């Protein structure tokens, strides 16, 4: 797929979180200054806990992995193998200066893609992110959303649990919500690799972008 003005990048091997954060920060500035195209970047990280701007120290239960201050909104989350990350760097001045619209469009994009793999997902009053029914029938988070907007250029994005080691989430209170769990496509019986996920997600990119208009509310 080719989308004029947007680079679509898919990494085949995990990239250290700090390296990706530095690259994303530099690209965000370059987009602000008109020196680079917008970017949709799909990748994975080695195990890491990241802290958003609202992270509470008490929610870091067992720092068994590297802990990085991410600068995005939200609280603690985990990234690791088997979890697909989407970093979305778009210039909202060209689209819609509406942060809520952007977050809702991200959520809709992931929800629609999960539907392509027969997983019914939705937003929830429990918190920002992507939620579904776990194998025990309880509501559980299958995808996290965390963004930052600098001079109307976005960065960070979403994380979707394809087949991560879910025990790694026990080192934190995921997104500050202790009473609900996390799940994955694999736990729900869907074996989806990164390549299949990326193809399905990118096929829906025009649909996602079409939501980023001034009248999106």
Q: Is 175 labeled as catalytic in the residue annotation?
A: yes
Which of 175, 182, 192, 212 is flagged as catalytic? 175
CA gap 208, 194 in Å, rounded:
19
Q: Report how far apart, in Å, the C-alpha atoms of 215 and of each of 33, 95, 154 are.
A: 26, 10, 19
For the CA atoms of 83, 51, 39, 195, the dihedral, rounded to the nearest 10 degrees, stands at 0
34: left (phi over 0), alpha (psi -120 to 50) or beta: left
Torsion region of 71: left, alpha or beta (phi above 0 gives left; psi -120 to 50 gives alpha): left
Bridge partners of 156, per DSSP, are 147
| CB atoms near residue 53 (< 10 Å) | 13
Number of neighbouring beta carbons within 10 Å of residue 159: 27
Is the CB of residue 83 less than 8 Å from the CB of residue 100?
no
User: Which positions are catalytic?
Assistant: 175
């Amino acid at each position: 797929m080719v989308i004029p003005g947007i680079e679509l990048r898919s990494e085949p091997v995990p990239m250290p979180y700090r390296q990706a954060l530095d690259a994303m920060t530099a690209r965000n500035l370059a987009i602000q200054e008109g020196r680079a195209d917008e970017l949709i970047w799909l990748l994975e990280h080695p195990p890491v806990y990241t802290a958003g701007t609202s992270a509470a120290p008490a929610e870091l239960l067992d720092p068994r992995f590297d802990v990085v201050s991410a600068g995005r909104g939200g609280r603690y989350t985990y990234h690791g193998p088997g979890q697909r990350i989407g970093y979305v760097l778009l210039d909202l001045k060209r689209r819609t200066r509406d942060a809520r619209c952007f977050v809702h469009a991200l959520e809709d994009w992931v929800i629609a893609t999960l539907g392509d793999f027969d997983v019914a997902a939705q937003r929830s009053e429990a918190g920002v992110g992507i939620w579904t029914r776990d194998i025990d029938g309880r509501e559980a988070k299958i995808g996290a959303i965390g963004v930052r907007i600098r001079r109307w250029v976005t960065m960070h994005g979403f994380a979707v649990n394809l087949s991560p080691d879910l025990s790694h989430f026990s080192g934190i209170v995921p997104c500050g919500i202790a009473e609900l769990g996390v799940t994955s496509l694999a736990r729900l019986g869907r074996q989806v690799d990164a390549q299949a996920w990326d193809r399905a997600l990118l096929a829906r990119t025009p649909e996602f972008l079409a939501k980023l208009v001034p009248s999106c509310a």
